[in-house]
Structures are given as C-alpha cells and as structure tokens.
Structure 1
Amino acid sequence: MTAPKTRAAQLAVHGGEPVRRTPFPPRGHFGPEEKAAVDALLEQAMATGVAPGYNGPEEEAYCREFAAYLGGGFVDGVNSGTSALYVALKALALEPFSEVIVAAVTDPGGMMPIPLLNLIPMVADTAPGSFNTGPEQVEALITPLTRAIVVSHIGGEPADMPGILTVAERHGLPVIEDASQAHGARLNGRFVGTFGTIGIFSTMSGKHHASGAQGGLIYTRDEQLYQAVRRAADRGKPFFLPPGSTNVTAGLNLNLNEIAAAIGRVQLRKLPEIVARRQVVVGKLAEGLADLATVSLPPLLDGAEASYWFLRLRFHPERAHCDKETYCRALAAEGLPINPSYRAALPHTMDWFVHRRVFGRSGYPWASPDYQGDRERQFPCPNAEAAMDTHFNLQLHENWGAAEIADALAIFRKVDATLRRD
C-alpha cells in the first residue's frame, strides 16, 4: 500500500523540495590541541634525532589516564580494537578448540580474533528488540567446552552486564566486554568496560575519543592479567618476569605508538564533554520524536546511560504506508544522515564465517579433530534478524547544534506525516 499521491509528491524522493540541501556537518573533533601534541613530539624528534617509538612516556601517561577515567585499574594500548580483543583472548590463555560465546551483532573485528586463536565462536542472539545480547541468550549456548564470553555494547547502549555476569559466575567463565562503541556509557552509575574480567575499546578515528586513524585500549583491574596482556601485546616479551627470562609465548607486535598516544591523551580530556553533548542532542531529538507514529526510540535498560555512537531507531511498519527501505530512502532524500541497514554488523552471516575461511580452505579451527563440539552447528538469531528488519541508525555527533537538531526533527515530521497510516 502506498501513501496518497498528493502527500507523497511532497517528499524529496519524489521530486519535492528537501528539508536540507547542505550535508550535515562532519564532527570536527580534531583541533589545535591534537596538532600541538603531535608537533611537540616531532619537534623533540628533530631536536634529538630519535623518532617517536612505542611503550614510551606518552603511552604510559595515556594508559594511566584512561585507567583513572574508568575509576582505577590497569590499561595497555594496542594498535586497534580488533587487536585489543585478540590480546585479551591471548592473555586469558584459553586452550585451543574450546568455545567462546560472542554477540551476534558486532564489528567483524569483534569476532574474527576468536577463530584466529583456534577457538570456536558460539554466536549468541540479541535480546528481543535490541542490538545487544542478553543473559538468556548467552546461557543458552554454554556447553562443557565454553571457556569465555565476549559481550558488545552496540551503538553506545549498555548491555545487561549484571545479568550476564550472574550467568558467567554461575559457570565460572571470564567475560570480555567490548566497549568499542560505548566510551563513557554507564550502567547503574558504572562505566561499561569495567564490569567484566577485561574491557576492550577501539580508539579509531570515528569513535567517541580517538588516538588517530587506529588504536585500541585494554582494561582490567587484575594486575596479573594486565601483565599477561602486556606480554601478549608485544611478542611475548618477558614483562614483569625475573631477569634472564626470554619471550614466554608466541605473539604479534600489536603495540600502540607515541604519536597515537599523544593524540589519545588530548581526546580523552574531551571525552566527558563529548558524551554529555551527545546525550543532550539525543534528549532533544527524543522529545521531538515522541509523538510520531512511524518511528520511535527503543528504551534503554533500567539504569543505563548511553553514549550514542549512533542513535538506533525503530521503524513501525504497521503504522506506515511503506516498508523500512522506502522509509529510509525518504529520510535520506530529505538530507538526513542515516544507515538504513546494520547487517554489516552480523559477521556470522558473512562468507568467511559461513564457509569457515580462517586458515586457507582447511575449515580450521572447526574442522580440527581436537574440537569435540558440533562442527556444523548453525546459529539462527531470530531476535537479531528482527532487529535488523525493524531498526535503522541515525549518524549523529556531539557537534550537532540547534539547526541540525531542528532540521533532523523537521525531516522526521515531514516523512512521518506523509507516510503514516491515518
């Protein structure tokens, strides 16, 4: 069924006048402070003849400051969020061909390190109406082979960590929190990334706070685990071991560097304001969207404070004259920056996972005779599929001002008024 022609013709997608002709502005989150930090390092390099390296004073300060931001503990810097997960798993010293539960909705880099370490990813569905997994979905996958759980906080929305930790503790399992999209988000007043055994963060250029083009941070309150993280991140070097020790495990060079750390320190000082301003933007959008029929903001968990890497919105097809794809095309034509589909965050549906392409065509780690589980197990995720079918993402940031908020609301109201069922 389609909207009445007289109304539909007003939409930009049908040749009408768009609400906004100029693109929404980029973030502009790098400024003179970041330039000054990098310049200082380069000037020092020119004066001394020694190029900026890694594991130096800038990285040490960055890690110390990020740990303090999270309320105390230990942090190591690495070169990406994917590396952060790889190192966290490596530091836990899980035996090959054991199983690791991982959320269905995540960046591919939030899942790929599992099989790269010859561990078996077990894909947990999301909680109903959410991009995040929940305790029930995690517990459904626990077997005698389960050795760890990886939980992602997608889009800056906290997952149910108290519930998931109750499950993990009942089965004696460590939990890695992937807070790459959720810097500064809180649950019951506590930062996400601090609930589990280890928290990991991506600091690539698009995240809430960035250390340049790429970067990552690994957090724990356990000093011995931190020491294992340091060794796993730098080719097994014998950090914190007796003199005369040599490299204690095979590992990769996944270090952060001094230039990235210098940028990250500046960005970290901006992070509280970045999160607060995103929350203000979303608060104003929520007020303006409250009475619309075709779209709504899904509720957060009780006690959750999201940091909104993007804003997840629910489309209500039963209240509209069109499907979600048509609705999103109408929004985009009016000038709104949206991602109509988040299926790129379902790595278990991708060729590499479906065809077990991790180590050539061997099918390893699933094909190993040492794996005692179901090599052909499938992971239907009906809740995640339903969420993908009914949700889309608004790409916003902390530097949206009154004009951007007003235009976004005008676009939603125009499309809602045109495509809603009367």
Structure 2
Amino acid sequence: EINARCDALGKDSLLTADLFWVMRPYFDRLHHEDPHYRIVPVGMLDSTVYPTPGDRKRAYRRIRMPAFNILQINDTLLVDRSLDPAFRRGDRIAAIDGIPAAEYLRYVYDDRHMEPSTLLFGHHFELFRQRFRIDLERGGEPLTVETEGLPYRDALFRLCKAEETDANIRTYADARCGYIAIPQFFPDNSRLVRILRRAIVGFKRQGITDIVLDLRRNPGGNGHAFDELLSIFIDKPTVEYCTGQQVRASKEAMRYYDFLTEEQLGQVVALPESEYVRSFATDPNMYVGGMRYWVLVGRDTGSIAASFVNILQYNGAALLAGEPLRHNALKYGEVLDGGWFLPVLLGESCVSMVRIDELTRRDDGYVLPDIPIPAVAAEYLAGDDAQLDRLLEIVRARQR
C-alpha cells in the first residue's frame, strides 16, 4: 500500500501526511479498540532555521488559525462557534486554500468537534501560514472569506473559554427546562461541583425540574471529587462502579504500581482492590431531589466523561440522548505519554495503562443513548443546535 501510494504520487518515499493517509485504516482500528489511543502528526521546527529556544518560541507565537470551531458530520464540515463575525454558525466549509474539505478529512480522525488547526496540521502541516482563503456555502449560496485568523494559542484559549460551564448555563422557558454544558473535567473538580449544584438548585427554585446536561464535547479529564459530583444526581447510599481492573506490567507502570515485578513485564495483572475504586459512598446532603435529567452525549464523550454518563444511566438517574459513545469508551484508562515513530513525524498521543471492568448495561463495548438523536448535517445549516432542539421537543412532549 505504501508503494502504491508512492507510485500514485510519483515519489520514492512518503511525507508524514501521506504515510498517515496510507496507514489511516490501521490507525482507526487501534483507535476503535482504545479511543484514547491515536497516532498523530508531531510538529518539529527545523533547528538549522530556528537554532535557539527563543527563535522557536517566537516562531510558535506567529502561528495563526481561523478563529472558529468546526463540527464534522460525516463528510461535511460546518462552522460551529466563531470569534470572527465573518463566519457564522452553520456555514458549510467547502475548501480551505483551494483544498476540498473532503480531502482534509482523509488526514484526521472522525471527531465530531475540532478546530481548523487539526485539519491544517494533519494535511502537510499547513497551519504554518499567515493567511487563509476559505470557501463557504451559506444559505445555499457560495461565499469566499479571506482571513488572517488569530494567533493559534489565543484563538484556542478564547474558544475554550466560550465553551466553559460558567458561560453555558441557561433556561429554555418555553420548554420549562434548564441547560448546563459540561465540556471537561479537571484535576480539581471542586469548583465545577459547586457551580453545577448551585445552578440545579437555582433551577428548582424557579419551578424547573427538567435539566439537560450537555457532555457532547467532553473528552474526559480527571475523576477528582466524582463521589460529590454524582451525589447530586444519585439517591443511593453507595454507588457500584466496577468489578475489577487490570494493568499491563511495564517499566512505566512500575513507577505507579510498586507491587509489579520485573518477572511480570508484558503480562496483564489484576490490580489489588487497594489500588482502585470498586464502589463509593455518596453524600446525601449533596442530592437534589425531584429533578429529571436528560444527558446529551456523542462520539466525543470520552474517558471519565463516558464513565460519568454511564454511571448516571446505569443507576437510573438520567436518560441519555444523542449518539452512541465510541466503542470501548469505558474500557481503558490511566494514560501514559506515548512515543514517537522517528524518523517520520508521527507519534502516539497517549497509551492506556489500565483496563477497567465498569458496570454498564451492555457487554459489547458500547454505551447507547436511551433516546437516539443522530447528528444530521442538513439540520445544522441554519445555525441551530439541531440535536438540542430535538431533545427540547421531547422534553416539551413529556411535560404535556
């Protein structure tokens, strides 16, 4: 396959992006087994051009990107949230700098949410430019916008800031429903727990008893204070989490688990119960009763976020709505930094260390929504959040 790609391009060797293009089906298979695991392009600046750390730092500061997020639905790319008024939510991205959107999608994973930097970086490191020409379709009409974008780090920071929970708590009065987005979990979730409980209590005081929790963008993070967090939603003294966990013994794992020995290297070893949480007690003072929760999920709901929504579903504390989570979203965790595949500029984003036997409704590796609401590109062209709108229709119907 590598030789065939070389022949098609008229080359005797492949650049990093072309190698990814050839290997993509195999990378997808690994990603299907463990959603944490990705092989991705790794950027390096030429040390002969940028010889000092200061030179490299200044070069990275010059990197820019179009100032919006992207929604990927099958072969369609749509503008999601934008910091630049020249772009509107629902604009269909037809091409960037003359390269069709479908071509970019050959070089990236099928994440529902992403930034333009992911597309450009994966396609021959095209992020390293100062101006972008973007062909759009808006209201059925073609449109071309040229933009310098924003400095890469500034754009990412401001886009992430706009998605934070603090900025995404609101009420849909016509549906008598509250809405809270939870886009990530943190090494310290104490503040998030306080924000969530205060918002839920506030909704209840307004007479609102239906609440949508939106975790479609949440890739995971840290499970700190999850006992407190889940105590808000689950009215049980104890929550059962898993039946066991195993670790693959390696030199890296031995730094975290001192019971592992050299003789066990390469083996999958059961963790002693002292090394993981099988169940946890809830705090009855945290529980907010009389509420009905609807949780929006999708393929980007991963890692500890996948565990959060699964625990809610398994314990009957919420109905999940949206799309299935990725295969084995619950199965692996405790990730380590991955390695590089030099001399090509590809590397592992991370490698899971632990396998988890989490309690769930199914045994085929999938967490499925109770209310399927697929993402349909045509329904997003007007700039609306089509999945949320359809869920709110269901909430209204249940209230009648």
Structure number having the greater strand percentage? 2
TM-score exceeds 0.5: no
Normalised by the length of structure 2, the TM-score is 0.23
Work out which structure has the larger RCO, using CA pairs closer than 8 Å and 6 or more positions apart in sequence. Answer: 1
